Amino acid sequence: MSNVIIDPTCPEFNRGSFCYQPYYIYAGLKETIGHMEDVVLVEDFNAANIDSLPYINDARHRPKYWIAFWSHSQLEQVRTLLRFLPDRSATVFGYEHLIKHHQMPFHRVDPEILRQGMAASPKYFNEFKHVLLSDCDMHLAEYQGQVYPLCTSYGCPNACSFCPSSANQPKRITLPLNEVLNMLEYMESQGRTNIHFTDEDFFFDTNRTAKIAKWLSARKCKWQIIALSSAYNLLRFLTTYGAGLLHTAGFKLIEVGLETADAEQSKALGKDFLLCEQLAEQCTVPILWLTMTFAPGETIETLGATGRFLTKHGMQPNHLYPRIVTNGTVGGLGQFFTLYEGTPGFYEAQNTGIILSSRPLRLIPSYVPISFLDSRIHSQREVTAAEQYWYRLYRVNPPMSSYVGQRISEAILNWDISEEGILSLAISSRLGVIQ
**Residues 279-309: pLDDT tens digits?**
999 999 999 999 999 999 999 999 999 999 9
SS3 380: strand
For residues 129, 135, 138, 141, the Cα torsion angle rounded to the nearest 10 degrees is 90
| Distance, CA of 226 to CA of 61 (rounded, Å) | 44
172 has pLDDT over 60: yes
Contact partners, residue 85, CB within 8 Å, separation at least 6? 53, 55, 65
pLDDT at 131 (0 to 100): 62
| Distance, CA of 221 to CA of 355 (rounded, Å) | 49
| Distance, CA of 169 to CA of 4 (rounded, Å) | 23
pLDDT tens-digit readout, 224-245: 999 999 999 999 999 999 999 9
pTM reported for the whole predicted model: 0.94
369 has pLDDT over 90: yes
pLDDT at 95 (0 to 100): 95
Q: Is 339 in contact with 350 (CB distance < 8 Å)? A: yes
User: Could you tell me the pLDDT band of residue 134, with boundaries at 50, 70 and 90?
Assistant: low
Q: Which of 95, 34, 49, 85 is nearest to 64 (CA)?
A: 85
Mean pLDDT, the chain, integer: 92
SS3 335: strand
pLDDT tens-digit readout, 343-368: 998 988 989 999 998 899 899 999 99
| Distance, CA of 304 to CA of 264 (rounded, Å) | 14
Q: Is 259 in contact with 295 (CB distance < 8 Å)? A: yes
Q: Is 256 in contact with 285 (CB distance < 8 Å)? A: no
E strands within 287-423? 287-293, 335-336, 353-355, 367-369
For residues 355, 288, 309, 299, the Cα torsion angle rounded to the nearest 10 degrees is 0
What is the percent of the chain with per-residue pLDDT over 90, rounded to a whole number?
78
The more confidently predicted of residues 15 and 59 is 15
pLDDT at 60 (0 to 100): 64
Q: Residue 69 pairs with which residues in a beta bridge?
A: 94
